[in-house]
Structure 1
Amino acid sequence: MLEKIEAIAGRIGNQRHLRALRDGILMSMPLIIIGSFFLIIGNLPITGYNDWLSNIGLAAIFGKIVNGSFGLMAIVAVFGIAYSLAEYYDTDGVADGIVALSSFIIVTPDLVAKAGSGIPYAYVGSGGLFVAILIGLITAEIFRFFVQKNFTIKMPEGVPVAVEKSFAALIPGFMVIVFWSLIYLLLDLFGVQNIHTLLTNILGKPLGALGGSLWGTLVIVALNSLFWFVGIHGANTINPVIQPIWLQNTDANRIAFQAGKELPNIVTNEFMMNFVWMGGGGATIGLVICLWLFVRSKSNKAMGQLSIAPGIFNINEPVLFGLPVVLNFKLVIPFILAPMVSAVITYFAMATGLVAKPAGIVVPWTMPPIISGYLATGGKISGAIIQIITLAISVLIYYPFVKIMDRAELKVEASNKLEESSDSNLMA
């Protein structure tokens, strides 16, 4: 049964479109993190700080930097998704990405003003992610079709490679541009003024119900733990589908935070990465602390010493595969339960206002707990306190199971020691 589940989940995780979606969105992560840095220093929780920044002219500059980095999520994603899928098909990823980017601009409605026209930040950021995903994937497929059918312009030998690639991309690129131009025209004829709004209503609402609610979060957390339990990378399997929703929620909070308004979302990318999955999938920070402080067997002590440092930085592969947690039925209950309890406690603490919501600041997933909670909530101490509470609870959840496992390991070590002593006496 487990082998069948592993095979099915493995195929899902390696499915080319999901991999392209995941890798393409990851291309925007450096810009998102850089933008988050300037969002932090532009909104430090110091009385009079924001007024001082405005007076010296830095507030507007910081805002411009955030919009020009964090706010370009969809632009980078559409290029990255098309590029990643093209690389899988062994076609020209750069040309594919550029054509996809052009197509995205074509289907996005202009914002017209007296000074001229342009594309609103709302659509080149998280608000355009659904369209970016669709265009990136379809563009790569159209491009692949024409390349594999040899509908390309062939250049004679001796022509520079860059020139050859440019001409080879002409016909596939032309067909892609025509395709998306026709889509834009047809939508306009049917009275649909904005493809972004259309896709958000069709796809965003059902996915948003899953990715933005507590019950949906618990389903995702349970699935992530179950995938990891059978040895499959849970994040790589689940995140490509649901992370766009979390990132949209993050960006909505970022925009509200910059404007000084009420933050609309609790479940964001940072809620999951920094508050639910502390220590990695399964909230294994509690497990590695138990192994570090509360075990007696030599093997478990050694594992605790080896796993505590990476565990603090949310890297849990050493304990997942070294202890192991994978296929270890003694630990399956806390491995599923710990992150779910963390999610419930943190969600209600934020919903009731006891803890600040994530402020739209993307904190690197390797940031240690307590620090990450403080930063993710925009410099609120309540973000660090709730992490301390849930960290302690995860330790309590793992503790009895670790002790049962440790007692069994002590018996094995005692038995092995007795056998070694008997063998030594026989040899003597």
Structure 2
Amino acid sequence: MKKFLDWLERILTPMARVIGENKYLIAIRDGFLLSTPLLIVGSIFLLIANFPLPQWDGWMSAILGSEWAQHMSVPASASFDVMTILAVAGIGYSLARQFDEDAMQAAVVSLVAFFIVTPYTTFFTPEGSETVYEVSSLPLKWMGSSGLFLGMITALIATRLFVFVLKKGWKIKMPEGVPPTVVKSFEALIPSFVVVSIFFIISWLSALTPYGNLQEVIFNLLQAPLLSLGNTLGAMVVAYLFLHFFWFFGINGGSVVGAVFNPVLRALSMENLDAYKEGLPIPNIITGQFQDMFATFGGAGSTLSLIVVMIIVCKSQRIKKLSQLSLVPGIFGINEPIIFGLPIVLNPIILIPFVLVPTVNIIIAYFAMNLGLVPFTNGIQLPWTTPIIFSGLLVSGWQGAVLQGILFVLGMFIYYPFIKVMDNQYLKEEAAILEKKEEEDISFDDFDFDAL
């Protein structure tokens, strides 16, 4: 077993280091963080407008009027419908900052490059008419989830070109005494011209293709196939196997695997949200919400089930104290105390359930949704700290809450025999320490005071 673990560590650790230190993956990860608070805020308004109670609309209509839901959805549309714009700016900013160049200017140039390759037309059919009009506009279709992959690619390429030109020294240098803001503006002039010119040529060439523009090219040839691949049970299971193996070696598996997999899940989530807002059938099972709300409870390994088992059945002082300290953080998805305190890192006894429980959760939840027993997740963005049952109710109705409860209890049964083995080991260690301490205690009865 030790040789196998050593071999696995030699394979996974360099891989994790390469992925975890990659500037482009870090830029994508941090770039999405720019939009995350706004998406959560927008989701709150959308959730209020579509709260999963049959009487909710009637209650709110009586208080706020019949069109209250439309007004409540405006903040959601203002954030979700422009999420690609926010992602482009965030990715450009993050990548330029890693190269120690003007991050703000890079973000702006990335946005301009994205708009260059985006068509400025929307097809519109007036109500009661069969004629389709081509209207000059900034199409929200490409500002939301449909344009996400091109947005990421554009931000990375535009920023890298911008940085490359600056590093080459191709910039206008201003004399001493000129304010720093003015200096930066003129230094960015030549790099910005290069980026804009290159993306202009790309846009021109893509217009010659049967698709008509680069947005359609990327969506049909790259984004749609990737989403189809990511929206599978096999892809989800494989991603989570790697995620938990990384955690086993003390590497943040969520950051490593998420850097590659999360953009796909986010796009799938946005497709569900778009359908949910329009009242259309929700298309995807595998989404970011499926991952956050059904794969794990209490963090990687679904360790909230483990914590509750520890509280109920374990007798060793070490585990009892640790479980008490870990319960509240675990309810809100924070499980570092268990990962490093139990520990789970490099602990072959817990490795099996640590990997098995999330895998079982994913498989059962997938088939429960595929069979129509539980509604697909609606795409609403909840904070990852949202407790179970409540989170299931919000993203997948009461059926989702029931499914979470079932998976949580099942996880407890899977963890039980393994944690009992550890508990027995710790009990023996504590008994041995106590016995040794008693032997080392000095008793005054052992002294012969007459001999002094």
TM-score normalised to structure 2 length: 0.90
Deviates more, 1:118-127 or 1:417-426: 417-426
2:17 alignment counterpart: 10
Letter in 2 for 1:411: K
* Partner Cα distance (1:210, 1:336) in 2: 22
* Partner Cα distance (2:179, 2:272) in 1: 48
In the TM superposition, what is the alpha-carbon distance from 1:358 to its structure 2 partner? 0.6
* Partner Cα distance (1:355, 1:246) in 2: 19
Percentage of identical aligned residues:
39
* Partner Cα distance (1:293, 1:235) in 2: 29
What runs of 5+ residues in structure 1 fail to find an aligned partner?
Answer: none
In the TM superposition, what is the alpha-carbon distance from 1:47 to its structure 2 partner? 4.1
Deviates more, 1:123-132 or 1:48-57: 48-57
Alignment of 1:199-348 (within 5 A): 199-348=218-367
* Partner Cα distance (2:151, 2:390) in 1: 33
* Partner Cα distance (1:396, 1:336) in 2: 14
Alignment size in residue pairs: 426
Letter in 1 for 2:173: K
2:76 alignment counterpart: 66
In the TM superposition, what is the alpha-carbon distance from 1:115 to its structure 2 partner? 9.4
Do the aligned partners of residues 9 and 294 (structure 1) sit closer, same or farther apart at CA in structure 2, a change above 3 Å counting?
same
Letter in 2 for 1:21: I
Alignment deviations for residues 155-194 of structure 1 (CA, whole Å, 9 cap, x no partner)? 1122112111111111111111111111000111233313
Structure showing greater Rg: 2
* Partner Cα distance (2:134, 2:66) in 1: 27
Check conservation: 1:207, 1:242, Cα contact below 8 A.
no
Letter in 1 for 2:34: M
Is the counterpart of residue 42 in structure 1 residue 49 in structure 2?
Answer: yes
1:91 alignment counterpart: 101
1:383 alignment counterpart: 400
Of residues 138, 155, 158 in structure 2, which corresponds to 1:139? 158
Do the aligned partners of residues 303 and 100 (structure 1) sit closer, same or farther apart at CA in structure 2, a change above 3 Å counting?
same
Letter in 2 for 1:39: L
In the TM superposition, what is the alpha-carbon distance from 1:67 to its structure 2 partner? 1.5
Check conservation: 1:210, 1:217, Cα contact below 8 A.
no
2:421 alignment counterpart: 404
Is the counterpart of residue 181 in structure 1 residue 188 in structure 2?
Answer: no
Do the aligned partners of residues 196 and 116 (structure 1) sit closer, same or farther apart at CA in structure 2, a change above 3 Å counting?
closer
In the TM superposition, what is the alpha-carbon distance from 1:4 to its structure 2 partner? 4.6
Do the aligned partners of residues 49 and 297 (structure 1) sit closer, same or farther apart at CA in structure 2, a change above 3 Å counting?
closer
* Partner Cα distance (2:369, 2:149) in 1: 28
Deviates more, 1:189-198 or 1:408-417: 189-198
* Partner Cα distance (2:215, 2:324) in 1: 50
Letter in 2 for 1:397: I
2:34 alignment counterpart: 27
Check conservation: 1:34, 1:70, Cα contact below 8 A.
no
RMSD: 1.8
Q: Give 4+ residue runs of structure 1 displaced > 6 Å after superposition.
A: none
Alignment of 1:161-180 (within 5 A): 161-180=180-199
Q: Find the residue that maps to 2:174 and give its secondary structure.
A: coil
In the TM superposition, what is the alpha-carbon distance from 1:49 to its structure 2 partner? 4.9
Do the aligned partners of residues 314 and 169 (structure 1) sit closer, same or farther apart at CA in structure 2, a change above 3 Å counting?
same
What runs of 5+ residues in structure 2 fail to find an aligned partner?
Answer: 1-6, 125-132, 447-452
* Partner Cα distance (1:391, 1:194) in 2: 48
* Partner Cα distance (1:83, 1:256) in 2: 31
